[in-house]
């Protein structure tokens, strides 16, 4: 039976269904299997079978990253393929955020723990911090961009005309997660967070900005074919006073959301939404997030001058539209794992695949000139293309290309050279005979709206080391 939102309690779980009705979570009968998985994790504290997440094997198979034994646990080293993928994700995420009118900044990675605002903020974070003490002062390595951005904003003159004010940073971040929880890309101790904060003048502006960011996060997930399941951590007073607003957010999803009411006034935020992606093993993993912060404006003495010349503290939104770059990459790899479970060849989006086109001359000594002509044309269009110039069988070379999930394999023999055509094998199994310009048109459609970057490894496979 549904309950009145004005009769909720602290430290309880509730479900808001797609009709705007509120239920106790432990009494809710979920039809959606993935939403049940979120309930099992958060409400009933049931763990998923300890099957290793498939994305971990892909990190090795695709030569993306591995653990760094000379560093602390949870610190990864990225090989050239991984470095390229992180750069593409960084540029993509940055472009999305810059399109909102955000100001990019760069701030320090460590902050004085004896500074009152830093100490207060850090106390809310618990023990999951890296601390360094180079001399007499003790510092904490940042676990998000909050310290640096808030300190910077506290020194600036801001008026109501500047609001909403959006500030963004790709934050090199550190969290001392429990060793037993470390796992692949989803739980690491060093990660990169595209972190944006939005200063707003009051709760109405904050809710308007929050709604827009919430919608953007959902749209970004849908763009890649992902479905998010939301967990709302919330001050119960905020829920009671803003129930219509909460329903308007839920309407954007058209499916149930999970609500967790926390102790009122315990945190700096009154609403903290976590968007969960369900991986190929059925585990919910938090990725994107957006929060309404009512505490740090005062804590860090950030002020703006209102219409009457009075100084006030802004309400601050925190958001990571794509989560950390590591979890952003994890989602793409887990989508590939879901394909593999369905019996479909796993693949990545063309824009994110380290090698987009592999050219295989049937006879390297005879067809190489035409192969290089095609390669140079594709390179000029910022297509990541290489050539398998090894003196090994055609079957071996095609198999190797397939093993790296290369979306387009171009076979060039005497016939293709004579006709000025390309034989293009697409990863889904189709084979096309097309001209170079027609092939470029296909690639341009694949890459439209996404960053382009050159190949990070040698274009000639015969000259490539095992490192790449």
Greater confidence (97 vs 267) lies with: 97
Q: Is residue 468 part of a domain?
A: no
Instruction: Note if the pTM is more than 0.85.
Output: yes
Spatial separation of the C-alpha atoms in residues 329 and 334, rounded to whole Å: 9
* Together in a domain, 99 and 150: yes
Residue owning tokens 């269904």: 17
Clarify whether residues 157 and 190 are in a common domain.
yes
- Residues 398 and 319 grouped into a single domain: no
Q: Is residue 269 part of a domain?
A: yes
pLDDT of residue 124: 77
Q: Are residues 379 and 306 in the same domain?
A: no
Whether residue 280 is contained in a domain is answered as yes
Residues 443, 404, single domain; the answer is yes
Q: CA angle, 352 as apex, 348 and 354 as ends, to 5°?
A: 95
Q: What is the DSSP string of 345-372?
A: PP---TTT-S--EEEEESSHHHHHHHHH
Give yes or no for residue 1 having a pLDDT over 90: no
Pair (370, 294) in one structural domain:
no
pLDDT beyond 90 at 220 = yes
Q: Is residue 347 part of a domain?
A: no
Q: Are residues 220 and 299 in the same domain?
A: yes
Residue 331 — very low, low, confident or very high, per pLDDT cuts 50/70/90?
very high
* Residue 207, phi-psi category: left (phi > 0), alpha (psi -120 to 50), beta (remainder): alpha
Domain co-membership, 275 together with 320: yes
pLDDT at residue 468 is higher than 70:
no
pLDDT at 465: 87
- Assess whether pLDDT exceeds 90 at residue 140: yes
| Nearest-angstrom CA–CA distance, 6 and 9 | 9
- Inside any domain, residue 90: yes
Is 330 found in the same domain as 367?
no
> Are residues 302 and 404 part of one domain?
no
Residue range(s) defining the domain that contains residue 453: 357-463
Tens-digit pLDDT profile for residues 27-41: 999 999 999 999 999
- Residue 235 maps to a domain: yes
**106 plus 184 within the same structural domain:** yes
In a domain, 352, yes or no: no
* Domain total in the chain: 2
In a domain, 122, yes or no: yes
The CATH number linked to 59 is 3.30.930.10
Q: Which residue has the higher pLDDT, 9 or 303?
A: 303
Q: Give the CATH number of the domain where residue 369 resides.
A: 3.40.50.800
Asked whether residue 116 falls in the same domain as residue 172, the answer is yes
Percent of the chain with pLDDT over 90: 91
What is the pLDDT at residue 136? 86
Give me the mean pLDDT over the 6-17 stretch.
94
Mean pLDDT of 156-174: 98
Measured CA to CA, the distance from residue 31 to residue 64 in angstroms comes to 37
> Angle at CA 227, nearest 5°, toward 209 and 180?
95
d(CA 20, CA 363): 66
């Amino acid at each position: 039976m549904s309950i009145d939102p004005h009769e909720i309690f602290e430290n309880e779980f509730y479900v808001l269904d797609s009709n705007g009705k509120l239920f106790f979570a432990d009494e809710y009968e979920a039809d959606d299997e993935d939403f049940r998985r979120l309930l099992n994790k958060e409400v009933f504290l049931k763990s998923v079978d300890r099957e290793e997440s498939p994305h971990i094997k892909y990190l090795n198979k695709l030569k993306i990253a591995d653990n760094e034994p000379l560093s602390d646990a949870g610190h990864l080293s990225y090989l050239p393929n991984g470095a390229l993928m992180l750069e593409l994700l960084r540029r993509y995420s940055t472009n999305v955020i810059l399109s909102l009118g955000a100001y990019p900044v760069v701030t320090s990675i460590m902050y004085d723990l004896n500074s009152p605002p830093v100490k207060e903020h850090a106390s809310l974070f618990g023990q999951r911090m890296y601390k360094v003490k180079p001399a007499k002062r003790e510092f904490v390595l940042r676990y998000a961009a909050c310290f640096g951005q808030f300190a910077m904003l506290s020194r600036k003159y801001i008026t109501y005309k500047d609001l909403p004010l959006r500030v963004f940073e790709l934050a090199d971040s550190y969290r001392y997660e429990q060793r037993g929880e470390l796992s692949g890309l989803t739980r690491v101790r060093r990660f990169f967070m595209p972190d944006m904060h939005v200063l707003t003048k009051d709760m109405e502006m904050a809710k308007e900005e929050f709604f827009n960011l919430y919608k953007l996060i959902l749209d970004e997930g849908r763009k890649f074919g992902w479905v998010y399941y939301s967990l709302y951590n919330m001050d119960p007073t905020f829920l009671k006073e803003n129930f219509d607003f909460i329903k308007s957010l839920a309407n954007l999803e058209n499916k149930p959301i999970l609500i967790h009411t926390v102790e009122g006034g315990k945190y700096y935020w009154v609403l903290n939404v976590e968007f969960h992606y369900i991986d190929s093993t059925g585990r919910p993993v938090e990725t994107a997030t957006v929060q309404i912060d009512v505490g740090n404006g005062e804590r860090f003495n950030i002020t703006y001058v209102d219409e009457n010349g009075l100084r006030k503290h802004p309400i601050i939104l925190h958001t990571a539209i794509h989560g950390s770059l590591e979890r952003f990459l994890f989602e793409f790899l887990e989508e590939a794992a879901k394909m593999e479970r369905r019996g479909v060849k796993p693949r990545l989006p063309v824009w994110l695949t380290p090698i987009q086109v592999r050219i295989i001359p049937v006879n390297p000594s005879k067809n190489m000139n035409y192969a290089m002509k095609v390669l140079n044309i594709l390179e000029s269009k910022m297509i990541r293309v290489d050539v398998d110039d090894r003196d090994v069988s055609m079957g071996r070379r095609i198999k190797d290309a397939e093993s790296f999930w290369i979306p387009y394999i171009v076979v060039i023999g005497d016939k293709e050279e004579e006709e000025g055509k390309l034989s293009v094998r697409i990863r889904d199994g189709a084979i096309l005979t097309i001209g170079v310009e027609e092939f470029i048109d296909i690639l341009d459609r694949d890459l439209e709206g996404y960053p382009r970057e050159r190949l990070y490894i040698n274009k000639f496979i015969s000259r490539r080391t095992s490192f790449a």
